[in-house]
Structure 1
Amino acid sequence: MSKAPTGNPPPPMPTSKDDIHGTWRYLEWGVDQIMSHLDNGVDLKTYMSLYTSIHNFCTAQKAIGQTSHLNSNHRGAHLLGEELYHRLNEHLKRHLQGVHAEMVKHSDEALLTYYIQQWRRYTTAGTYNNHLFKYLNRHWVKREMDEGKKDVYDIYTLHLVRWKDDMFGTTQNAVMDAVLRLVEKQRNGETIEQSKVKQVVDSFVALGIDEADSTKTNLEVYRQYFEKPYIESTQKYYDSESKTFLAENAVVDYMKKAERRLDEERERVPLYLLPEIMTPLMKCCETALIAAHAPLMRDEFQVLLDNDREEDMARMYKLLARIPDGLEPLRNRFENHVRRAGHLAVEKVADQGEKLDPKAYVDALLEVHTQYAALVQTAFTGEAEFVRALDNACREYVNRNKVCQKNSARSPELLAKHADNVLKRSTKATEEDDMEKVLNQVMTVFKYLEDKDVFQKFYSQTLAKRLVHGTSASPDAETSMIAKLKDASGFEYTNKLQRMFQDMQTSRDLNSNYEEWCNATFEKEDRKEGVDATYQILGTGFWPLTPPTTTFVPPPTIVKTYERFQNFYTHKHGGRKLTWLWHLCKGEIRTNFARMNRVPYTLQVSTYQMAILLLFNDSDTVSYDDISNTTMLQKETLDPSLGIILKAKVITANPEGAAPQSGTTYSLNHGFKSKKLKVNLNMAIKAEQKQEAEDTHKTIEEDRKMLMQSAIVRIMKSRKKMKHSELVGETIAQIKNRFSPKIPDIKKCIDILLEKEYLERLDDNELGYLA
């Protein structure tokens, strides 16, 4: 490299404008001053004279090219422009040889300092030189590039190409090693000059010259020589650190460290790296810090679940969510854990057998769901797949737990009974907000029921009784519950329930009309005959009510009362038939033979009990046979009804303690006492309740057969022909939201429809529809 001292005078300016040798001697001195002595450089006057000499040279060559010897002179001008370009190119080579010779004497941070200093000096000089050789750029360089010549660049790009070929190719490994050692220091907690790394990154980016178009840049150099070794070094660093840390520390502590390291790497990118490195860098870190140790973390997950370590589970979730398929094993373990927790919760209350408290059972189901639903929201950010795992587990332990082993429909039955207890009027008033909360809890369990038709059947029965007996806690609560069921299962599911409410309103209106009719039809004295009564007209198709299981002859007083109403109703609605459901009727009787402080007791009784007690108006003592013959009640109903009256000591048996049977007589207990003025004798008979539950299950089975048959016919009507297996699958899909059908049951229904000639067998295991 020719280097002139700063104080040396410049060579004389060329006397001839087209003198390449004289022009270059003068230019070489100026370029050297700019390249090697940038701090002092050249003054403006000198710089302008250098600029002018290039201008004169270029314009002189242009003028020569316009003489009569055009072709030869143009070629001469071309050769002289090329000569000037190549002489500058050689000068840059020599300059960089000197820089390189000095650079190899440095290492680590000193090397980076020298590299950055020389890079900054060199590129700044390149900017000055690019302006100095503006005319060469404009004329010769442009023409060469337009003609598609390779290895010809504008003067600034030429500086970069020379650095890339003469400096970068031999020094980038040492520079990159120094950068990586600097970054490692920072990872180890030391403070570093981040700007040094940033300037090295910028230099690598600047050297990305597009070979197809030198006016454009790309990131190929940066990616190959900076990003690739940076990521490889990062991978190696965290591979080593994570193994060492895990050998000496717990998994939970490691997760905290991994989380911290990932945050540090992410924060490092905007400080001195390109944004483009973020994705590959984080992927590298995730591989080294998470994927490599994922099995170890997953093994720890069960320990965290068992000990309710919510914060640590959240940390594990966030870490494993970063890697492909990182969470699936966690979801499986979570599902199995919730399933086990649900079964254990049920087992704690399952030993009560038939006496199992519906509330205790539902609370056991809810406790597990509530706990793990909250965990899904907080630790697993409510992720859909974890919600699905929770749902799968809950569906399993709700439908196939210890209580359901003998009777798969036990869960919906108990849930319906729990809902009945919630919605019944009780002495302890339930706040509206609490009621809504409890109803939402019922719906939470309902969502997981597979046999929703069983719940519907039992719920409709209990609703019917609440409406008939007027024991609902709140009409609003009843309406709210039906709305929730409708939202969950559709209009058809709740259609009959809503019709029950319509019937109740219609009955209220009818009773008002009946009272007006009585006032208009009968004299005041006649209206007093019979008993005060209200009537509920319930549509046969909508109410799940069965007719009485016993014969019954009502007392004359009741007969006179209901015949009057029957005349009114028949006159108003001709053609309709009333069926009296005596087992659902009730009333109140005043005890004139026994009083509390001169106030007669009031007995709340069933109609059957009323018929029994009214016999004592004619005689203080009545025999069992007289009661049986007069009321015509069957023994299965008569004995429990008598038993409740005896237990309350309203009457006494003769002989004392005798069981209800022929030959026993009963007398009024004139010494009857009670702490309450109103004494409730209208209690459910357990035998009747058990029989009702059995009948309900039989009804459910029949309803299911009809539902499956109607689904099969509906499918075949639209498809006309179908493979047997496809029909079974489609049937399951259509009715699984009501209950889980068994394939043998569907096949039986298909056989029934074949016998009834709704369907026919075709070739190739196909079925056809017969219109």
Structure 2
Amino acid sequence: MPTSADNKGKAPACIVPEIALGMDPQVQVTWDLIEPGLDTIMTNFKTGLTFELYMDYYQAAYQYCVQSRNMSTSTNLGMGMGLIGGEPLYYCVEHYFARHLEASKEGSNGLTDEPLLRFYASEWMRYTRGAGIVKNIFSYLDRHWIKTTRENGRKDVYVIFTLALVKWRECMLSHVQQDWRLTEAILKQIEKQRNGDAIDASLLKSVIESFVSLGIDQSDNSNVPHGRPQLDLYRTDFEQRFIAATQAYYERESTAFVAANTVVDYMKKAEVRLKEEDDRIEMYMHPSSRGKLIPVCEWVLIHGHRQLLWDEFQNLLDGEKREDLSRMYLLLQRLPNSEGFAPLLDIFEDHVKRMGLAAVEKAAGASPDSIEAEAYVEALLQVHSQNMSVVNEALRGDPAFVASMDKACREFINRNKATGSASSKSPELLARHTDSLLKKSNKNAAEASLEEALNQVMILFKYLEDKDVFQKFYSVSLSRRLVHFTSASDDAESSMISKLKEACGFEYTQKLARMFADMEVSKSLNDKFKEKMAATHDKAELDIDFYCLVLANGVWPLSQTTTDFVIPTELQPSYKRFEGFYSNQHSGRKLQWCWHLSRNDIRTSGFNQKYVFQVSTFQAAILLQFNTSDTLTFDEIQKATGLAPNTLKGNLALLVKAKVLQEVDESYSVNNGFKSKKLRVNLNLPIKSEQKTESKDVMKTVDDDRRLLLDACIVRIMKARKTLKHAQLIQEVITLMATRFQPKVPEIKKAIDSLIDKDYLERVEDSRDTYAYVA
């Protein structure tokens, strides 16, 4: 064959393979007409081929296929293919492609690296473009003889364009891939690009895409008609070696980089490298490589140095480095099965817990037992808010980190320096804080800010283990706000109850809702009372504005005091009129008066200005005694009011502290020099001794309620299950009670024993750790 520069890329003219001549000598005539045109098409089709010549070549191929139908071989006749000829012409085309590629093979000799890539890409583009036109010339052959032959099982026959690809793979590719010459040239260019040098990405794209196009499954002709490629060649000749080279490259680079740079710098480097590899796939690789390349990069760059990242996590948390925390999260997130996060979850949980404990200790100062509710709640919320923003911003709101934070919050909120060993302290302080929010005295009582503050309360509420303690303290404070008309907003009160109902269910808030119903009933009752009094009494007789709340016993958490309180003379008429009115309205009902919760407004006339004192009924009874006496002893006041010594002592102390009264030698008198900037002076302040007693009373109620709840819960479970093992019963009780409180195992055991004694349960004789329900 010719090898001169002038004939490079041109096959010798009009050569017909012997196998074709043996089938039909007349094929030589047709081939002599067609082959010169193929030379033009395969070397310089843009300038050397006219439409007229193209049609001449097409007609020659077509006429041969039609006219040679009786020249088929005996093999073809046996296969039922004698009506359409074309096999000799097919072998001519196959032989031509092979001869044509000899010049390309020779041209590639001695080339390596980028020159080899450029030569290969140029030859590939010229060859495939030419083959695309050649297939059109032989389209009749494609549609008839080749189609029929394939359908009859010939696996070595292809449509013309696929035949061209098969010959390129057999002749050209196998030649340039000796010692992986072409693949190594690609890998060197990729390494240059990774090292920061500029390369021709389109060149690599052209060469690599040829591997995809040449992936013809020669054992399965079903893929041949449309030239649909397989990826076997792409994977064996390029992808496998590329992945191995990538792993080796990043193992070397990452090891050297971490030895000379900070962890944060390494994370930035890894982030950039992963982005580069993803872009590399877009630039010149088959998309299927992403599923293999990226995991290998992640394994080397992240998994291989995960301990380094884990060790840095605490430093980033301590330094509030949210951008770097986010970077670390996104890197470790790439590892399978969340294995990158496992150690970090424990670190984060411990970090949040330590922050919470430190914040409470700082807020408590030297007196943790008397920490203010507002300071306590603010400290807890600050820790929660700070770490929640870390989770949302840096850790993408990952549920695993949310769970770790919840676990830490539950721990430090229920057990810290302020609570000591009493898990009831946090619910009590949170309830007192909520009370301050919902009072009229709240400076931030604007609707929007109040609603947000209540939402903040519910954030902490969900972490409380003893939610029943919160309920009791909240009930007490709610009852006082309602009784004293100090609620900042009815809407806010309703909103808070709705939030509690959503969190704990209807039963949790049932009594709270009943309180509001009682308030509405009382309003209606007082309206009727006023109408009745206005109709039956002169206006002069009704000189006191009397309003009475009638509250259902058992709903309101109001303590009943046994006292011999003497109702002041000034209040007697109003008191008796209401008693009579109520008796007529509700025959058979008896009112129990809660004087310790009542309040009064008293106008003064003995000071330099006229003041209105806001006082409790007990304080009013004390002050009214000084209308008839200038000086009174403790015993005289006690006898006149009927108050218990401790109650009287506390109320006198408040009045002396407010400088309304003065004490001299165990005698009390009005301080005529009393002055105040406010004309309305609130003297109805809580007495510390009463607050302490109230806390004890609430906790006693909680303990009593818990015993009843445990009994009811156990009976309900056993009634449904009939028999149950001890461990299962304990677990079910803990689960069901979780929305109210965390019962201790000894408490549950004690309740079980009590129910056995009461014949609600019994032990199964042949299984002592199993209980049975007694119907």
> Structure 1 length normalisation: TM-score?
0.90
Amino acid at match of 1:709: D
1:163 has 2:165 as partner: no
1:636 has 2:650 as partner: no
- SS of alignment partner, residue 175 of structure 1: helix
Aligned partner (choices 206, 217, 235) of residue 199 of structure 1: 206
Counterparts of 1:39-438 in structure 2 under 5 Å?
54-55=61-62, 57-64=64-71, 85-86=90-91, 88-134=93-139, 136-138=141-143, 140-172=145-177, 173-210=180-217, 211-213=219-221, 214-215=224-225, 216-324=228-336, 325=338, 326-350=340-364, 351-426=366-441, 428=443, 430-438=445-453
- SS of alignment partner, residue 402 of structure 1: coil
Structure 1 667/760 Cα, relative in aligned 2: closer, same or farther at 3 Å? Answer: same
Distance 1:391 1:12 in 2: 83
1:455 Cα deviation from its structure 2 partner: 0.7
Aligned partner (choices 588, 593, 605) of residue 580 of structure 1: 593
Distance 1:624 1:602 in 2: 25
Distance 1:137 1:676 in 2: 107
Aligned partner (choices 751, 758, 773) of residue 769 of structure 1: 773
Judge conservation of contact 2:529–2:578 (CA < 8 Å) in 1.
yes
Judge conservation of contact 1:20–1:84 (CA < 8 Å) in 2.
no
1:46 Cα deviation from its structure 2 partner: 6.8
Distance 1:15 1:545 in 2: 117
Counterpart in the other structure of 2:567: 554
Judge conservation of contact 2:205–2:285 (CA < 8 Å) in 1.
yes
Structure 1 27/156 Cα, relative in aligned 2: closer, same or farther at 3 Å? Answer: farther
Distance 2:38 2:657 in 1: 124
Distance 2:515 2:265 in 1: 62
Counterpart in the other structure of 1:19: 25
Comparing 682-691 with 556-565, greater Cα deviation is found at: 556-565
- SS of alignment partner, residue 763 of structure 2: strand
Amino acid at match of 1:719: R
Judge conservation of contact 1:17–1:56 (CA < 8 Å) in 2.
no
1:361 Cα deviation from its structure 2 partner: 0.7
Judge conservation of contact 1:338–1:393 (CA < 8 Å) in 2.
yes
1:603 has 2:623 as partner: no
1:526 Cα deviation from its structure 2 partner: 4.2
1:489 has 2:501 as partner: no
1:711 Cα deviation from its structure 2 partner: 1.4
1:53 Cα deviation from its structure 2 partner: 5.5
Counterpart in the other structure of 1:699: 701
Distance 1:563 1:737 in 2: 46
Stretches of structure 1 that go unaligned for 5 or more consecutive residues are 659-664
Structure 1 647/166 Cα, relative in aligned 2: closer, same or farther at 3 Å? Answer: closer
Structure 1 131/465 Cα, relative in aligned 2: closer, same or farther at 3 Å? Answer: closer
Stretches of structure 2 that go unaligned for 5 or more consecutive residues are none
1:409 Cα deviation from its structure 2 partner: 0.7
Structure 1 564/29 Cα, relative in aligned 2: closer, same or farther at 3 Å? Answer: closer
Judge conservation of contact 1:64–1:73 (CA < 8 Å) in 2.
no
1:33 has 2:48 as partner: no
Judge conservation of contact 2:65–2:84 (CA < 8 Å) in 1.
no
Comparing 691-700 with 23-32, greater Cα deviation is found at: 23-32
Judge conservation of contact 2:281–2:289 (CA < 8 Å) in 1.
yes
Counterpart in the other structure of 1:662: none
Judge conservation of contact 2:596–2:617 (CA < 8 Å) in 1.
yes
Counterpart in the other structure of 1:626: 636
1:691 Cα deviation from its structure 2 partner: 0.9
- SS of alignment partner, residue 632 of structure 2: strand
1:98 Cα deviation from its structure 2 partner: 4.1
Counterparts of 1:731-746 in structure 2 under 5 Å?
731-746=733-748
Judge conservation of contact 1:30–1:50 (CA < 8 Å) in 2.
no
Identity of aligned residues (%): 45
Structure 1 744/50 Cα, relative in aligned 2: closer, same or farther at 3 Å? Answer: same
Aligned partner (choices 516, 526, 530) of residue 515 of structure 1: 530
Partner deviation per Cα, 1:193-221 (whole Å, 9 max, x = no partner): 22211111221111111221233432221
Judge conservation of contact 1:65–1:74 (CA < 8 Å) in 2.
no
Structure 1 433/164 Cα, relative in aligned 2: closer, same or farther at 3 Å? Answer: same
Distance 2:751 2:744 in 1: 11
1:95 Cα deviation from its structure 2 partner: 3.9
1:102 Cα deviation from its structure 2 partner: 2.8
Counterpart in the other structure of 1:685: 687
Distance 2:572 2:80 in 1: 134
- SS of alignment partner, residue 326 of structure 2: helix
- SS of alignment partner, residue 149 of structure 1: coil
- SS of alignment partner, residue 322 of structure 1: coil
1:584 Cα deviation from its structure 2 partner: 0.9
Distance 1:676 1:88 in 2: 113
Judge conservation of contact 2:332–2:341 (CA < 8 Å) in 1.
yes
- SS of alignment partner, residue 323 of structure 2: helix
1:348 Cα deviation from its structure 2 partner: 1.0
Distance 1:236 1:21 in 2: 56
1:744 Cα deviation from its structure 2 partner: 1.4
- SS of alignment partner, residue 607 of structure 2: strand
Judge conservation of contact 2:267–2:327 (CA < 8 Å) in 1.
yes
Distance 1:453 1:151 in 2: 83
Distance 1:12 1:428 in 2: 104
Distance 1:436 1:572 in 2: 40
Aligned partner (choices 746, 749, 753) of residue 747 of structure 1: 749
Distance 2:329 2:615 in 1: 62
Distance 1:507 1:314 in 2: 58
Distance 1:750 1:489 in 2: 25
Distance 1:282 1:621 in 2: 93
Structure 1 73/443 Cα, relative in aligned 2: closer, same or farther at 3 Å? Answer: closer
Amino acid at match of 2:567: P
Amino acid at match of 1:189: G
- SS of alignment partner, residue 316 of structure 1: helix
Distance 1:590 1:64 in 2: 132
Structure 1 79/521 Cα, relative in aligned 2: closer, same or farther at 3 Å? Answer: closer
Counterpart in the other structure of 2:583: 570
Partner deviation per Cα, 1:424-459 (whole Å, 9 max, x = no partner): 222846433332232222222112111111111001
Amino acid at match of 2:101: L
Judge conservation of contact 2:348–2:404 (CA < 8 Å) in 1.
yes
> Structure 2 length normalisation: TM-score?
0.89
